[in-house]
Structure 1
């Protein structure tokens, strides 16, 4: 990507096994892009490329959510080896996501609670998957629409309809997970009883 904003757009509209970010991207630097990706609940492995070799710089990178940190100049073979290691590690982990007693398998796309399948449409499954990946953090409406539909944003109430279906499906499956909303912020999953 030519700049940080473009990198963020690619991340939001495509799936990657590993993301490589140069710290010196214009418009939005690599660390900011990394932090933004993690705040959206995306756990794709991230390698930061930089000429900064101080321990403090590395620690900042890891705090922002980077999985690896490669100092320039580096041998291309080393970058390839690190990408391969992260991709292999992810492929062994990524096929199953959990939150509370809800378990999602990515391939095939199946959601379960208490050992029973949760009946979801492909779109509602994608919605649940993004919320599970967020790990209980609040996800904005705009981010959910982008994650579920990409650039083909549907009519304005489509998200509301799928939220309703997902809540109903979780209840019917006796999941210990609730889909809650936060006014003017978005939606999040919780295993705690709703207050009020």
Structure 2
């Protein structure tokens, strides 16, 4: 297992690397934003541990570039001293997969990395999913419906990918939030807002609404041909 650690606090970075070594996890290290971005885009990693406050370019911008400019879907775990909801949402919107607030236990860091990589292996088994006239390509992070490309936010894309994977089963809001945000689940209105924005793009321009709400249970994605 090879991890990229991008963290400008040298003592913390050394502590993390020493602990990961005891878990037989190899680490490439960058202390500056541009150096980390170069490594992330030229080497292959199982996961990226990314601090937010970095010299030259912050973690939000690095993650956004990885997702949107380079189409890199390596799991990203953000590290930060910020425990504000707005900061967490910004991280998720930029494409981060999980969020860990400093100070943290190294055991939790390893557990979260392992969970992210297991999830990633499950998601990349099938790169392109089809349900009716809806197509989702995990490798290119693109979505089409009725041959029209849909532009989704990173979180909207992840919600749709979960619904497609489980379709036609119902996904509870609790399960959705757990997969999207792990243990740092934000206010439930945040999920509602993301689903609303997803529906505006996926359903409103078309005659048939694929996302259905099952009152008191959760959400499901149904085939427009049913």
Q: TM-score, normalised by structure 2?
A: 0.44
**Correspondence list, 1:2-151, <5 A:** 13-16=115-118, 44=122, 94-151=126-183
Residue 188 of structure 1 aligns to a residue whose secondary structure is strand
2:8 corresponds to: none
Instruction: Tell me by how many angstroms 1:11 deviates.
Output: 11
Instruction: Tell me by how many angstroms 1:193 deviates.
Output: 8.9
Contact 1:177 1:191 in 2 (8 A): no
Residue 213 of structure 2 aligns to a residue whose secondary structure is strand
Residue 211 of structure 2 aligns to a residue whose secondary structure is strand
Within the candidate set 150, 164, 170, 2:196 is matched to 164
2:187 corresponds to: 155
Q: TM-score, normalised by structure 1?
A: 0.50
How large is the RMSD of aligned CA atoms in angstroms? 3.2
State the number of aligned residues.
116
Structure 1 124/17 Cα, relative in aligned 2: closer, same or farther at 3 Å?
closer
Gaps of 5+ in 1: 1-8, 20-43, 45-89
Contact 1:113 1:175 in 2 (8 A): no
Q: Which runs of 4+ in 1 moved over 3 A?
A: 9-13
State the alpha-carbon separation in 1 of the partners of residues 114 and 217 from structure 2: 19
Query: Which structure would you say has the larger RCO, counting Cα contacts within 8 Å and 6 or more residues apart?
Result: 1
